[in-house]
Structure 1
Amino acid sequence: MKAEIKIENCPEPYAIIHTPEVNEQVQRVLSYMRQDTHTLIGQKDDRQYVLSIHEILFAQVKEEKTYVYTMDQMYRVKHRLYEIKQMVGHDFVQISKSSIVRIDACESVEIDFGGALVLHIKNGLKTYVSRHYLKNFKKQIGL
């Protein structure tokens, strides 16, 4: 099977398969492509990067702009937080009105002064879990 990639200005990656018949090889490719493998376009330093949702550890809205964090970078994305939450599904949990985190990216939690819960993420970030989302967060991570 031949393959070709064209870099274009489009909202998300898509594929077109030209084939005289749908055989086993085409079925395997279609099956793989239909899996829940979403990507996001992240912007950093006037460049755009294709990010797999599996790379994303944390997503946050600051000053009406949405940012996603990977293990070592932060990217601005055009999606709204609820759209990202729909893409990533049950792998993420909401921790505040403006933040979601990948459950397996949570490194540790600690109780801060005043009873607030501080969440340490594997990439070195730390953030707070809002009281409103605390019960669901604890349930999701097994506390």
Structure 2
Amino acid sequence: MMKFSLTIDRQLDEGSVDVVTPVIDATVTAIEELARQTDPAIPRVIVGYSANQARILDFAECLAFFTKDRRVWVATSSGTWQVKLRLYELENFLPRTSFVQISQSAIVNMDAITHLDLSYTGTISVHLKNDMHFFVSRRQLSAFKRALDI
């Protein structure tokens, strides 16, 4: 069971959330996600660009973010869109309960994963709903397994 402590300090300009825990578990992740959702500085949608179109995309419809030709793209079920943010910027505000970085060049939505291909020796191929696939890098392998509880 987790202890809960609340301190009200009217002299503060803004609130903060401090969590002290021996391990990062589902409860800690949920608390972090709730704190992020209430932060007005964190966007809830992202704009994707394709040719002469701009489309507002909710994070739930984003299957993966990836780099190609020195640009960052977002894959959705309706197509691929270029975004103006870098992957490290996206990683700072994407919901960690849904998205996981699998390599230096890709972040995937865990809800979009259809299956994992383990036939490659020492690597995992992640297949998404839109038939795209990405490889999990060795550096991100343990974080990926933790995110999926495998």
TM-score (normalizing by structure 2):
0.67
Offset of residue 45 of structure 1:
2.1
Aligned counterpart in structure 1 of residue 124 of structure 2, from 110, 117, 123: 117
Shift, 1:107, TM fit: 1.2
- 1:62-98, Cα deviation, whole Å (9 max, x unpaired): 1210000112310001011112122212121010011
Amino acid across the alignment from 2:125 = V
- Residue 3 of structure 1 corresponds to none
Looking at structure 2, the residues matched to 100 and 37 of structure 1 have their Cα atoms a distance apart, in angstroms, of: 17
Structure 2, unaligned stretches of length 5 or more? 1-37
Paired with 1:54 and 1:87, the residues of 2 have a C-alpha distance of 13
CA RMSD of aligned residues (A): 2.1
Residue 37 of structure 1: how far off its partner (Å):
6.1
SS in 1 for 2:62: coil
User: Is 1:133 aligned to residue 133 of structure 2?
Assistant: no
Q: Specify the structure having the higher radius of gyration (Cα).
A: 1
- 1:43 corresponds in structure 2 to 49
User: What is the rounded CA distance, in whole Å, between the counterparts of 2:121 and 2:43 in structure 1?
Assistant: 41
Q: Secondary structure at the match of 1:135?
A: helix
Counterpart secondary structure, 1:85: helix
CA contact (8 A) 1:41 1:48 kept: yes
Q: Distance in 1 between matches of 2:73 and 2:147?
A: 23
Aligned partner of 2:60 in structure 1 is 54
Q: Which runs of 5+ in 1 are unaligned?
A: 1-31
Structure 1 residue runs of 4 or more that deviate by more than 3 Å after TM superposition: none
Which of residues 88, 99, 108 is equivalent to 1:92?
A: 99
Within the candidate set 66, 72, 75, 1:69 is matched to 75
